[in-house]
Structure 1
């Protein structure tokens, strides 16, 4: 766990200075961390913040992420407020942000519609508000499908589906919009973890979130959530991009240890069976 005073702050706000001045009064509480970084809750009296340290294999550009978050926050999108970034003693990138509650766990139809509207607002964000240096655009398959060359069945199919999708990379996308990256406190939502924020196709962003809700919550709620986007996109478009997104889950399941409940695989099999672009032999 990093000490605030041991960080080489490249950009710091008054909040960082206040924490440094009161370093002996800080309360540090480890939070659930993902595969990429260590996360700590930092509290000074009644004010709390989040310190994220990328001390694992993932090494994203945190200076860029800081600038993106600041722009989105200043323009009114529901993201964490960034207070500073720097490097720890091992040269791992560090980001200090506002504390915005806990991940969404309880779901209902009204909440799903609200979350769909937030995702749509991200896709509608005017790109002229962003610096040119924040316009990340990646090769879609290489970026989202790590080690796919070793899985020929998925590789051939994903190339076919991407070819017919007429994919566009002209909107801001989150890249990993899921309930674990949506915080809730007193009825307010905050979208976190912008490591995969980039120029992309909103249909993929939407499809990935639909697939994860269908797998980890229920097919019924996946259907409810999907319906919120059908005024913008056709059922056929969404189904195609859900196939593309589901293939990513299948690939990740082969190369990593994903969270699974007793119904997880059955739900994935159901998606594979009912999507016209997929088949059950993939899992």
Structure 2
């Protein structure tokens, strides 16, 4: 008997220690069933990001406490020598949680997007101050120029929930497009300075905020006619910065056998 998508999702919690899969609404299940059938579905992409899991409370406390031990941001790119470097050094304070995150998010993606295979990852933790603006951007697949839309799962712990552009980009009016240009390049536009534009787009709901302590499914890649890559912008910390931790794991899509 073939296990349904909903049955496979319901069976996940017993396998997980770090994350708790969320309970989806009927509308969210409809979206996920479309992505499960074919991830590159542009109309479905316009309804992402979507929270797929939350971090357990005890894990949030431990991860955040470790992040608070650092007054600078530690950024780590994972490659084939990551485990070797962690073992050879005095130890990476976040490595145990990263391993769990990787294992459990991979298990979730096996259910939701079966063709997804790990492509790349980085994570960061410490006190985020952003001495220079990090503007509106997407996550590309520069190592694979032919790649279209690809799944990516990100999470922010406790503070600095990332903002994203909501809805279908093709339906935006010229004024909104101009305002988003201000955030992309952090420049003045006829509608105002980027800081003021940022606040106005949040007020309008054009920019929405990803909840902290959740794993969010978004779209990365280089874009294609049947894909809408998620545009997002880092939250602005107050003067003096805020401690947080950030996890980002991106997948490629393999052809169905």
TM-score, length basis structure 2: 0.27
- Between 1 and 2, higher relative CO (CA 8 Å, sep ≥ 6) is seen in 2
* Bigger fraction of residues in strand: 2
Q: Which has the larger radius of gyration?
A: 1
